[in-house]
Structure 1
Amino acid sequence: MWKDFPARVAVATGCRALVYSRYGYGKSDRLQQARGVDYMHAEALTALPEVLQRLDIRNPVLVGHSDGASIALIHAGAAQCPVRALVLLAPHVFVEDLTVASIAAARDAYRTTDLPAKLGRYHDDVDNTFWGWNDIWLDPEFRHWNIEALLPHIACPVLAIQGQDDEYGTMAQLDCVARRIDDVTLIKLANCHHSPHRDQP
């Protein structure tokens, strides 16, 4: 779903890039159990540090989209490993009514349209990928998910980007990041929905 965006960023910045699909996505191992409310914390505090350690990657610039951006925030906020900078595309810091409504609409679209076929181009196990994400975000317990308390502990520079037409979050997400982290640059893109790397590459 990222297409050539990571390669273009690597060329433009002169940085080497590691691009991987998290557990349950893309061609990574298929999801074997339902996600828990803390699944992003598990990715940020267990899976990501292990990836970095095994590949001997130090002081990375973490780039993440949506849940991936939230995982980057959690990782940096918990000071798991030194981080040089964060680039956040449409991050989630807390759950909004808009987010829940749009995810519920995605559930209906998955059941009634060709959305499974479209997503199936990117994921080996599209049903588990979709429902693993959709079910947890629509779980009533997930409404209380919030990572604001971690943000003041982030000491590295942060670039946070969001589309003004993002159907999965309002600008309150970016504004919260700006209030709680010292070194932040915000970019709010017009004519852009939830995927800035697709809508405004």
Structure 2
Amino acid sequence: MIDVDGDRYEYEDIPGDGDRAPLLFLHEGLGSVGLWRGFHQRIAEATGRRTVAYSRLGHGRSGPPHGPRTREFHAVESEVVVPAVCRELGLERPVLIGHSDGGTIALLAAAVMPVTGVVTMAPHVVVEEFALAAIRDARTAYETGDLRTRMSKHHDDPDVPFYGWNDQWLSAEFRDWDVRAPLSAITAPVLAVQGTEDPYGSAVHVREVAERSAGPVQLVEPVCGHSPHLEQPDETAAVITEFLAGLP
């Protein structure tokens, strides 16, 4: 656990080569350190870089959030929390590796702080109606199926991350959420990965990143769903490792 501005965060810190930029993993809306399912460890081993993964407030074993999420959640995480975690852990010009909501946070953080690169998997930059349908289905699975039981293995209180994520995305104030404008401030190289069969988002998100970012963007669109790193781990690890090898 680490204390950041009075809040307690669960994290894992894997040592690596101090001459190369460290990696900071940012999990999905229902995720945590444990729910990377070892993928961050695999990338650490493959690259030899120092690798850190942490659980946001309300996730995993981290402390509780300060209140319900608002439409500014991603902005606060990227502009306040990520820089603070980096300062506390001594992560200078990290490579941010994010998935889903974490992929959005990685992009927005790269627009406001110095980073060496960004890997964003299945990020969100606008709201798509078909994705909201999948989010509604997830609520049904949580309340009537075994999703809550499965989440309870990885979170102190699974209701906090689930309803924090689900309520935010389904709220009326979130319907016109749009974070495309800040993407133009990204100058670091970006690897954007988007599964072609993702029920939570289409290729519009990564293509907006490619169009608007001021730095180089590599697009990869594997045939998979929302979690390329879990559904196609070998291929995803290979493309990330290759991207990291080409960074300064």
TM-score (norm 1): 0.95
Query: Which amino acid letter does the alignment assign opposite residue 67 of structure 1?
Result: D
Structure 1 gap segments, 5+ residues each: none
Of 188, 206, 217 in structure 2, the residue corresponding to residue 184 of structure 1 is: 217
Identify the residue that residue 66 of structure 1 maps to in structure 2: 100
Give identity over the alignment, percent: 44
Q: Runs in 1 of length 4+ with deviation above 2 angstroms?
A: none
- SS of 2:64's partner is coil
Gaps of 5+ in 2: 1-34, 234-248
Aligned residue for 1:50? 84
What is residue 46 of structure 2 aligned with on the other side? 12
Per-residue deviation, residues 96-149 of structure 1 (Å, max 9, x unmatched): 112211111111111111110011122111011100110010001111111110
Task: Report how far residue 30 of structure 1 moved.
Answer: 2.2
Separation in structure 1 between the aligned mates of residue 183 and residue 73 of structure 2, nearest angstrom: 18
Do residues 172 (structure 1) and 204 (structure 2) align? yes
Q: What TM-score do you get using the length of structure 2 for normalisation?
A: 0.78
Q: Is the partner of 2:120 in helix, strand or coil?
A: strand
CA RMSD of superposed structures (Å): 1.0
Secondary structure of 1:95's aligned partner:
coil
Rounded Cα–Cα distance in structure 2 between residues aligned with 1:127 and 1:58 = 34
Partner of 2:129 in structure 1? 97
Cα distance, 1:32 vs structure 2? 4.5
Is the CA contact (8 Å cut-off) linking 1:30 and 1:125 kept in structure 2? no
Aligned to 2:149: 117
Higher helix fraction (1 or 2): 1
- Deviation of residue 31 (structure 1)? 3.0
Q: CA deviation at 1:154?
A: 0.3
Deviation at 1:26, TM superposition (A): 1.1
* 2:78 counterpart letter in structure 1: A
Q: Within the alignment, does 1:145 sit opposite 2:174 as a pair?
A: no
List per-residue Cα deviations over 1:9-62 (Å, max 9, x = no partner). Answer: 011112110111111111111234211110111111111111111112111000
Distance (Å, rounded) in 2 between the aligned partners of 1:14 and 1:69? 22
The amino acid that maps onto 1:116 is R
Higher relative contact order (CA 8 A, sep 6+): 1
Query: What does residue 3 of structure 1 align with?
Result: 37
Give the paired residue count.
Answer: 198
Distance 1:19 1:36 in 2: 24
